[in-house]
A = this chain, B = another copy of it.
Amino acid sequence: MLRISKLSDYAIIILGHMAKAPSQTFAANDLAGSAGIGGPTVSKVLKALVKAHVVRSTRGPKGGYQLAQTPEKTSIASIIAALEGPIALTECSIDLSHCEQASSCNVRGNWSVINRAIHAALEAVTLADMAITPPMGSDGFHIPVKDITFQPRRNPEQ
């Protein structure tokens, strides 16, 4: 299923709401209301986003959360990384020492290529892209899908 976690999903929804007023400060509870997600859960998500410097927080009355950067500069990769840690499809891409197959694994290094490709894909799309509602292409997508290209050149030196 290659899923992102629900919390990451929530994060993008929440940040999507914040992106509508990028310099405004939002209380966690208000965001919970407008996103239709439970209060404590929204808090948990926002705390993680603060740690990762995706949003800034202010305490006290009239406090709340605010985007740390413009929606255009906030990549989906950074949001997912905030909630799930480093983006890597396999354990050994992060820490090889735990891999028990290491000796018989002849596939290792090549994962890195895929990881980079996926990271690039998530880095290339920003909160601004996600937050845009309709007015878009006839197929329902704002970003023309045909314009997303992925072209690895294979084995050129073999």
The answer to whether B149 touches A150, judged by C-beta atoms less than 8 angstroms apart, is yes
Q: A1-B85, A86-B1, A141-B110 are in contact. Are A116 and B36 (CB under 8 A)?
A: no
Task: List B contacts of A103 (CB < 8 A).
Answer: 36
The answer to whether B144 touches A156, judged by C-beta atoms less than 8 angstroms apart, is yes
The answer to whether B114 touches A125, judged by C-beta atoms less than 8 angstroms apart, is yes
A12 within 8 A of B: yes
Number of interface residues of A (CB under 8 A): 71
Task: List B contacts of A35 (CB < 8 A).
Answer: 101, 104
A143 within 8 A of B: yes
The answer to whether B154 touches A151, judged by C-beta atoms less than 8 angstroms apart, is no
The answer to whether B152 touches A116, judged by C-beta atoms less than 8 angstroms apart, is no
**A84 nearest CB neighbor, chain B only:** B1
The answer to whether B151 touches A13, judged by C-beta atoms less than 8 angstroms apart, is no
The answer to whether A148 touches B151, judged by C-beta atoms less than 8 angstroms apart, is yes
Partner of A80, one of B2, B12, B158: B2
Partner of A113, one of B143, B151, B155, B158: B143
Q: Which A residues have a C-beta under 8 Å from some C-beta of B?
A: 1-4, 9, 12-13, 16-17, 34-37, 76, 80, 84-91, 100-101, 103-107, 109-114, 116-118, 120-122, 124-125, 129-137, 140-145, 147-158
Extra A-B contacts (17), CB below 8 Å, given A2-B80, A4-B89: A2-B84, A3-B88, A35-B101, A109-B141, A110-B132, A110-B141, A110-B142, A114-B122, A117-B121, A118-B122, A120-B149, A121-B121, A124-B151, A147-B152, A147-B153, A148-B150, A149-B149
